[in-house]
Structure 1
Amino acid sequence: MDIPGLPARRAALNLIDAVLRRGETLDQAGGSALARVSGDADRALARAIAGEVLRWRTDLDELIDSATRLPLAPDAKARAVLQIMLAQVLRLETPAHAVIATGLPLLMGGPRRLAHGVFSTLTKREVALPDVPTLPEDVAGRWGARGEAIAAGLAEPPPLDLALRHPEQTAEWAERLGGTSLMPGHVRLARGTAVEHLEGFRDGAWWVQDLAASLPARLLGAGHGKRVLDLCAAPGGKTLQLAAAGWQVTALDNSKRRLERLRDNLKRIGLEAEVVQADVLTWEPEERFDAILLDAPCTATGTARRHPDVLHRIGERQIEEMTALQEKMLDRASGWLKPGGQLVYAVCSLEVEEGEDQADKVALTPVPVAASELPEGLEPSAEGWVRTDPGMLAEVGGLDGFFVGRWQK
């Protein structure tokens, strides 16, 4: 059936199914789900629809259930199609007639009349979504009292953050790119900017990096030619930061594909690092390091505002698997420091098991973080750790959720 826009909606349906049924990330699902969608605009639309459904799924379901006499099964295709249709009207401001024309064909041979009736009932009521997404029940249970504040930061996809090659040029680049800055070396731009077309991209003046993701490397300060080990380094944002700050960097990761991106980024920015493909759990360094940055594999729940699939994929099993891996990596990394060397541990996770609980196990001397080392508006915890979440700095665009700790041998 040749209906303009239908392939994008079918792709969105497949993306959502891959996340909810197979536990894939949106990025992992994109290859097959978007294969039959032509054009960057339609592929972006499919991703946007899927992202908004996953961001607001609990609230979309509540609306759907309010308009059906008998509840639809949680995994019913009609429910998924209605989620897609409502997300377009309520979040993407797509005209209702276009939503119907591209939504109902997804139910060929199915309950099209039911879906049409539910959608029409809700649009006639002029329903709206709440200001803040309702978290899935299991997520709300894990995050507890923090959940409401975190959810407030998930209502919108994030702006675009850039990290500068030369932090002393912050004011200049903020003006040239029409952005704002929250600390030296950082420029924030409006969402939707085409990165490769921005001034300074080809010249290597900056790279894309969320503000919170830039904090771990910042806490190691200037390198002055000393040796630093960047563990789980790809795709390289922290490697670039460390090299730009004067460190002699060894960047280690076990993914060949991701290390290729790291090398490309180093070449574009004009920086150097020793790149090593190896497994942290089996690799052994020839000599000790002055500093180590371990940005450990994690559940990545702190990236929920840009990757809302994590709200539906991550549970206790994944958290347990990640914490076991992190503990092993921390133990090995701690032994690779020179006396007096510093270790920074970071995860882009909102789970205390991956952050605070791991920090309590580190057998090194804590080096508390000072408020002066953080963007204005952020404060370290009483223990001197850094804990960010998407609800913080919301008035200026927010930031990802991270835990960061620092120790000395």
Structure 2
Amino acid sequence: MAGDATLPRKRALDILGDVTEERRLLSEVLPKRTASLAPEDRARVQRLVTTTLRAMDRADRALGPHLKKRPAPRVMNLLRLGMVEICDLVEAPHGVVNSAVAIARSDKKTEGMAGLVNAVLRKADIEGWPNLPIPRLPKWLRKPLVDDYGKEIVAAIEAAHYAGAPIDLTPKGEADAVARAVGGTVLPNGTVRLAGQVQVTALPGYDAGDWWVQDVAASLPARVLGAKPGERVLDLCAAPGGKTLQLAAAGADVTAVDVNAARMARVEENLARTGLSATCVVSDALEYEAPAFDAVLLDAPCTATGTIRRHPDLPQAKDGADFPGLFELQEHLIDRALGLLKPGGRLVYCTCSLLIDEGEEQVRDALARHPGLRVEAISPGDTGFDFAVDELGGLRLRPDFLPEQGGMDGFYIARFVKA
């Protein structure tokens, strides 16, 4: 029977295998793998897994000189986990090594490698760890990003990924009051940023519904839409619902549509907690029918490459094979959103992606497909981040922006006006 220190590590090792070998996302496997654990152990497993995934490239560089050949995937992941615990999380080396060896011996498939695990992890170079290169994205993703932005910017993005992400809150009311209550700072757009990781549900104002968790970049599309009291507004592909809450807080008559019933249930829970109201509809966005709306917000399904600092499993679980299908889906969704919009109405299109194909190119293609459609340039005061407005009038946000304050997710946001 594994001890208290070994059990979270074994679960973390299992999850690393799910991601790196089975190509499954953390959002899918983490809840199932940790359901039987105590809350503190669940948190520890998540910390072990996310840190190892962020630092995987650095761990492989540290392990390379001590391996004549790459061991089996489970052993390699065990070595990565141990190296990251010792060098990045600064756990006591003796305990980490003993636990890793015990895990290797507990499985017939890996017991013969226990000696290798012991020998390699005892050579962990804690002092040399910070001098290793910042972990790089895998080639399948790094290459298109370098083509879009250049090596220097991609290196800055990778540094932001490795640094991880703080917790951001969107206030329902006055930002300064929320910041005082939770001990956060107010960013230029009114987002409240917390220092360090905390238990969100224990913060002041959670039960009262004074705020909701939402990355600063994710809060900007609703601001760009500028919903007005009484306007009929459609939030298309609405889950997880932060934008729905923003639109409802602005006083709009909001309809939120998403194909995922479980995720839409979370939207309804957050509406109830915050005391806000919206009509929630479970439907495929391409099949949804309704009278035309004054404004539409479309946060289209995408590669999510802008959220890697929060979801470090993405580069390991994906390989880019699904990208062309997503690009095509985004085109269809833009066309459908325009079909649900009144003449003269506003459509905000956004993706949490770093790929130009999911942002700027989609905007150019939409303008070519729809004569009379125009981009209404994002203006000073719309977001608080005017430096990110591009030549099309859209907003290109990157993880390396606001580096001293903790960065932001990557997003592209454009505002159309229908002829």
Q: Same fold per TM (> 0.5)?
A: yes
For each residue in 1:40-80, what CA deviation from the matched residue of structure 2 results, as whole angstroms up to 9, or x when unmatched?
Answer: 11111111111111111111111111122x1214x532211
- The answer to whether the 8 A contact 2:256-2:281 is kept is yes
Matches within 5 A, 1:41-80: 41-68=40-67, 70-73=68-71, 75-80=72-77
Distance in 2 of aligned mates of 1:59 and 1:190: 25
Distance 1:380 1:175 in 2: 31
Partners of 1:232 and 1:296 within 8 A in 2: yes
Instruction: Kindly provide the amino acid, as one letter, of the partner of residue 318 in structure 1.
Output: D
Letter in 2 for 1:157: G
The residue number in structure 2 matching 1:230 is 235
* SS of equivalent to 1:360: helix
Q: Answer yes or no: is the 8 Å Cα contact 2:82–2:96 preserved in 1.
A: yes
Matched ranges for 1:144-183 at <5 A: 144=146, 145=150, 146-166=153-173, 169-183=174-188
Paired residue for 1:247?
Answer: 252
> C-alpha separation between the residues in 2 aligned to 1:173 and 1:50?
31
Does structure 1 residue 389 correspond to structure 2 residue 398? yes
CA distance in 2, matches of 1:61, 1:54: 11
CA-based RMSD of the aligned residues comes to 1.7
Deviation at 1:271, TM superposition (A): 0.9
Residues 229 and 291 in structure 1, CA contact (< 8 A), matched pair in contact too: yes
Q: Deviations over 1:328-355 (max 9, x none)?
A: 1111111111111000011111122211
Give the Cα–Cα distance (whole angstroms) in 1 for the partners of residues 22 and 74 of structure 2.
15
Name the CA shift for 1:205/1:106 in 2 (closer, same or farther; >3 Å): same
Find 1:99's aligned residue among 89, 96, 101.
Answer: 96
- CA shift in 2, pair 1:124/1:94, >3 Å: closer
Assess if the C-alpha contact under 8 Å between 1:388 and 1:401 holds in 2: yes
Distance 1:130 1:223, change over 3 A: farther
Query: Counterparts in 2 of 1:292-303, with a 5 A limit?
Result: 292-303=296-307
State the aligned residue count: 403
Task: Give structure 2 stretches of 5+ with no counterpart.
Answer: 106-110
Q: In the TM superposition, what is the alpha-carbon distance from 1:126 to its structure 2 partner?
A: 4.9
Question: What letter is aligned with 2:353?
Answer: S
TM-score, with structure 2 as normaliser: 0.92
Closer, same or farther: CA 277–125 of 1 in aligned 2, 3 Å: closer
Offset of residue 236 of structure 1: 1.1
Question: Which digits, 9 at most, give the CA deviation of each residue in 1:91-134, with x for residues without a partner?
Answer: 21111011012211221223111111111123487544637322
Which one-letter code corresponds to 1:25 in the other structure? L
CA contact (8 A) 2:97 2:122 kept: no
- 1:339 aligned to which of 338, 343, 366: 343
User: Is the alpha carbon distance of 1:102 and 1:372 closer, same or farther for their aligned partners in structure 2, counting shifts above 3 Å?
Assistant: same
Aligned: 1:269 with 2:274: yes
Cα distance in 2 for residues equivalent to 1:227 and 1:382: 30
Relative to structure 2, which stretch is displaced further, 208-217 or 145-154? 145-154
**310-319 vs 242-251, greater mean Cα deviation:** 310-319
Secondary structure (helix, strand or coil) at the match of 2:188 reads coil
1:16 Cα deviation from its structure 2 partner: 1.0
Contact 2:17–2:73 under 8 Å retained in 1: no
SS at match of 1:368: coil
How many Å apart are 1:378 and its aligned residue? 3.8
Change in 2 beyond 3 A, CA 1:121/1:262: same
CA 1:183/1:105 → structure 2, altered by over 3 Å: closer, same or farther? same
1:357 aligns with 2:356: no
Structure-1 separation of matches of 2:145 and 2:357 = 11
Q: 1:305 to 1:127 in 2, by over 3 A?
A: closer
1:163, 1:209 within 8 Å by CA — same for their partners in 2?
Answer: yes
Identity of aligned residues (%): 37
Q: 1:203-223 CA distances to partner (integer Å, 9 max, x unpaired)?
A: 111111110000000001141
Which amino acid is the alignment partner of residue 101 of structure 1? N
Counterpart code for 2:172: R
Show CA shifts across 1:246-304 (max 9, x none).
2110111111111111111111111111111111111211x101100000111111111
Range with bigger deviation, 372-381 or 86-95: 372-381
* Secondary structure of residue in 1 paired with 2:124: helix
Q: Which moved more, 1:364-373 or 1:394-403?
A: 364-373
Instruction: State whether residues 297 and 349 of structure 2, in contact with CA within 8 Å, keep that contact through their aligned partners in structure 1.
Output: yes
Q: Secondary structure at the match of 2:281?
A: strand
Letter in 1 for 2:116: L
Cα 1:125–1:189, aligned 2, differ >3 Å: closer, same or farther?
Answer: closer
Unaligned 5+ runs, structure 1: none
| TM-score of the pair, normalised by structure 1 | 0.94
Shift of the alpha carbon at 1:382?
Answer: 1.5
2:396 aligned counterpart, secondary structure: strand
Counterpart of 1:91 in structure 2: which amino acid?
A: D
Answer whether contact 2:21 2:73 (CA < 8 A) is retained.
no
Letter in 2 for 1:20: T
Letter in 1 for 2:12: A
Q: Offset at 1:315?
A: 2.7
Shift of 1:361: 1.4
Q: Which residue of 1 aligns with 2:27?
A: 27
